[in-house]
Amino acid sequence: MSPASADDANGYHTLRLERIDRVLKVTIDHPDHDLNAVDASLHADLARLFAALKREDEARAILLTGAGSAFSAGGSFDWFPTLDDLESLEHLRRDAKQMIWDLLDVPLPIVAAINGPAVGLGASLALLCDVVWMAESATIADPHVRVGIVAGDGGVAIWPLAVGPARAKEYLLTGDAVPAVEAERIGLVNHVVPDAELQDSALAFATRLAEGAPLAIQYTKQAINKLVKDAFNVAFDASTALEIVTLQSEDHEEALRAIREKRRPSFRGR
């Protein structure tokens, strides 16, 4: 094992990069959040990462995972209140859209290893990888609606592609978490393994891809992702625009108050 280039290794505050033969392992490791919650710092690092991975020419496969007990536990509740004006929200929307499109345009195959809760944007990023491994104890969820906002991180596009509209709506309209075994059963993820085997199993699969014919693998991924991009062309801009509307709603403010006060929210539809 060796670190990625010094520029990369020193340039990220919330990510760790290491090279394992022809696999580039990226670990979400937020020093300020035990559960790797998404705040401005992690959001910016992820945006930079996927843009950089489009130009990666040493590795032949990427492994994306989380440090500690979580893959990424969704948006930081300390960050949400800072997104209180249209200028901030528009910058966030623009950066989020570019992040997702850069992820879809990464030529190398990306294997996700979900080591713990993958929530919100964390869930979307994991599901947009090419093959998804999951630890038995892990869960995956898109609970935007539980804090009074629209699922605008890409969930409205990728969940229906993976499991069909009816199941996607069940989970996106409730925000319920999907346990690993159920996620595999319904086709949301590819493989579930015991927690202790996750990293080795996912790395072995990433290594297998890295040892395959690079152009054939990359071009096949590129062709399949045309279908994914079609779904994002239909749904992403609409969902993020509606998310901005709901981020400014009284219901969202009520949800954040309820979290702080440790009570159930009382939503009023405004």
Would you give per-residue pLDDT tens digits along the chain (270 residues)? Answer: 344 443 345 589 999 999 999 999 999 999 999 899 999 899 999 999 999 999 999 999 999 999 999 999 987 777 766 766 777 778 878 888 999 999 999 999 999 999 999 999 999 999 999 999 999 999 999 999 999 999 988 899 999 999 999 999 999 999 999 999 999 999 999 999 999 999 999 999 999 999 999 999 999 999 999 999 999 999 999 998 898 899 889 999 999 899 889 999 999 999
- CATH number for 133: 3.90.226.10
> What per-residue confidence (pLDDT) applies to 248?
87
The tally of domains found in the chain comes to 1
> What per-residue confidence (pLDDT) applies to 257?
92
Is 73 part of any domain? yes
Domain containing 235 equals: 2-261
Is 267 part of any domain? no
Residue 67 Cα to chain centre, angstroms? 14
Structure tokens at 204: 């072995």
Residue 133 φ then ψ, to 5°: -105, 150
Pairing of strands 139-141, 72-73: unpaired
Is 151 part of any domain? yes
Is 157 part of any domain? yes
Is 242 part of any domain? yes
Q: Considering just the CA atoms, what is the radius of gyration of the chain in Å?
A: 18
Is 268 part of any domain? no
Is 266 part of any domain? no
> What per-residue confidence (pLDDT) applies to 184?
98
Find, among 170, 211, 255, the residue nearest to 60 by Cα: 211
Is 269 part of any domain? no
> Measured between alpha carbons, how far is 5 from 17 in angstroms, rounded to an integer?
9
> Measured between alpha carbons, how far is 3 from 130 in angstroms, rounded to an integer?
24
